[in-house]
Structure 1
Amino acid sequence: MSSTTDAVDAVVAAEAAFARGEPVLIHDAADREGEVDIVYPAAAVDPEAVRRLRNDAGGLICVAIADEIAEAWELPFLADALSHPAAEAAHLDYDDRSSFSLPVNHRETFTGITDDDRALTISELGIAAEAAENGDFDADAFAETFRSPGHVTLLRGAPDLLADRQGHTELGLALAAAAGREPAVVVCEMVDDETGGARTPAEARAYAEREGLTYVEGRELLTRLG
C-alpha cells in the first residue's frame, strides 16, 4: 500500500472515529511543537475521557473553539486581557502567538477540577458551541453558564484554521468540521512518564494500536483538509 493511500486511510479513519465521538491522536509536526495530543470532540467527553487525558496523556487539558464561536462569546486572547508585565512582548519559538483564552468552569461545578466537574464543563462547552454555531448561545448565555477563572482553559482557533495556523487547535477543529462535529474539541499533550518530555510519535502510535484508537499525522490532515 502506498504512503498516499495510507495517509488517506488515516484521515478517513480519524473522521469516522471523531464522528462517533471517539478520541484521535494527532502529531502536529516535527518542526513545530513536535507533540502528539489526544483530541476529543468536546460534547463527547465524560469522566472516563478526563481520566484518560489525565493518566494517559498528562498534559494540559484544554478546549479549542472555533474563532467565530469565540467572537460570539466575546472571548479575548488571554495575553490581550492581561495587564501584567509578564504578558507583554511574549515570544514563542514555535508560533507567532498563543491561542490561550479564558480558563473556565461550568457554574454547576464545585471546585471544577474533579473528573466529573471537568467533564461537565467540557461537554457543556461542546453543546454550547454547537448552539452558538446556530445563533442560539450568545455572550450573555455564556456568562450565565460558565465562570472564570476556572480549570478548563479555552483556546481560540485561527479564523481560517489550517490556512492561518497548523497547531493542534486548528488540526482538531478542522477534523471536527470534516466529521460534522461541534466546533469545539479537547486537546491534551501526551507526556512520557520516564523522561518527562513529549511522548514520541512512535510511542504514541504504539499506544493508539494498544488502545484501538486512530493515530494521524498533522501533515496528512493538512493535505486532505487544509
Structure 2
Amino acid sequence: MSHFGRDRTSAASVRSHRPSTDVDDVLTAFRSGDPVLIHDAADREGETDLVYPAREVTPDSVRRLRNDAGGLVCIALADRVARAWDLPFLQEILSHPAAANHRLEYDERSSFSLPVNHRDTYTGITDDDRALTIATIGAAAEAPKAMDFSATFRTPGHVHLLRAAPDLLSDRQGHTELGVALAETAGLPPAVVVCEMLDDETGGALAPSAAKAYADRNDLRYVDGTHLIERLG
C-alpha cells in the first residue's frame, strides 16, 4: 500500500506515471490496496474523494486521509451489508426538529447511517482507533451475517457509515455508490473509505486540476466519475 508523503515521488517517476482515467488501471490499483482519487461530477458535489478499500486501511492510511484529504472520513457500505447489520439511514431515525425538512441542493437524500467505534477502541478518534474500526468493518463486509455488529461496535462513534443505494449507480451516482461499485468490480468486499479532498488555501473543495497534480506527485490513480459510470453503471 502506498503511504502518505506529498513529495516522496521522484521527478522521473512522476513523468512515467501520469494520473490515469483508464478504469482498468484504477481497478488494478484499487485491487492491490492502493487508494484512488474519484471526482464525482461538476454538476453534482464537484468534489474529489480519496478512496481506500476499507479492509486495507492502516493507521498510516488514516493519517493520509486527515492530512492530505482533510474532509470527513467515512465508510461506504453496500445496501445488502447495511441491511444485514440493521443500519438505518440516519435522517429517518432522528426525531430532533433540526432533522425536519432535510433538503440537499445536490441530491435527494443523505447516505449517512450511524457513526461508530470498535468496542476495543478508547476514544475512537486516534489513527490507531479509527484504523481498527475501519479495517474490521471492511473485512466483515465480505460476509456480514457472520459478525454480530452490535457486539463489535458501539454508537455514537467517530467513523461515519454511509449506506449505498440498492442498485448503486443505477439509483444514485455519489461517491458512496462510485466507491462501492469500484470495490465490487475489483472483487473486494463492498466497503470503502471515502474522504473529501479540501483546498488548504480556500477551505473549499480541491479543484480537479489540483487533485490530478496530487495524484501525479504520489503515483496514484485519478478518475472522473463519468468514466466509472460508463464502465461500471
SS at match of 1:130: coil
Which residue, out of 117, 126, 135, partners 2:138?
126
The 1-side partners of 2:188 and 2:217 are apart by 26
More helix by share: 1
SS at match of 1:32: coil
The answer on whether the counterparts of 2:73 and 2:195 sit within 8 Å (CA) in structure 1 is yes
Counterpart residue number, 2:104: 92
The 2-side partners of 1:52 and 1:206 are apart by 16
The 2-side partners of 1:200 and 1:193 are apart by 11
Specify the code of the residue in structure 1 equivalent to 2:112.
F
Counterpart residue number, 2:124: 112
Unaligned stretches of 5+ residues in structure 1:
1-7
Q: What is the correspondence of 1:65-80 to structure 2 with a 5 Å cutoff?
A: 65-80=77-92
Which residue, out of 190, 194, 197, partners 2:197?
190
The 2-side partners of 1:31 and 1:63 are apart by 24
Regions of 4+ moved over 6 Å: none
The 2-side partners of 1:154 and 1:145 are apart by 15
Question: 1:210 Cα deviation (Å)?
Answer: 0.3
TM-score (norm 2): 0.91
Counterpart residue number, 2:7: none
Question: 1:136 Cα deviation (Å)?
Answer: 2.0
Superposed CA deviations along residues 173-192 of structure 1, whole A, max 9, x for unmatched, are 00001101111000000000
The 1-side partners of 2:115 and 2:72 are apart by 12
TM-score (norm 1): 0.93
The 2-side partners of 1:221 and 1:119 are apart by 27
Unaligned stretches of 5+ residues in structure 2:
1-19
The 2-side partners of 1:97 and 1:117 are apart by 29
The answer on whether the counterparts of 2:21 and 2:224 sit within 8 Å (CA) in structure 1 is no
Which residue, out of 203, 211, 221, partners 1:204?
211
Counterpart residue number, 2:75: 63
Counterpart residue number, 2:64: 52
Counterpart residue number, 1:4: none
The 2-side partners of 1:190 and 1:127 are apart by 25
Q: Kindly tell me the number of residue pairs found equivalent between the two proteins.
A: 216
Name the Cα RMSD after superposition. 1.4
Question: 1:131 Cα deviation (Å)?
Answer: 2.0
Question: 1:219 Cα deviation (Å)?
Answer: 0.1
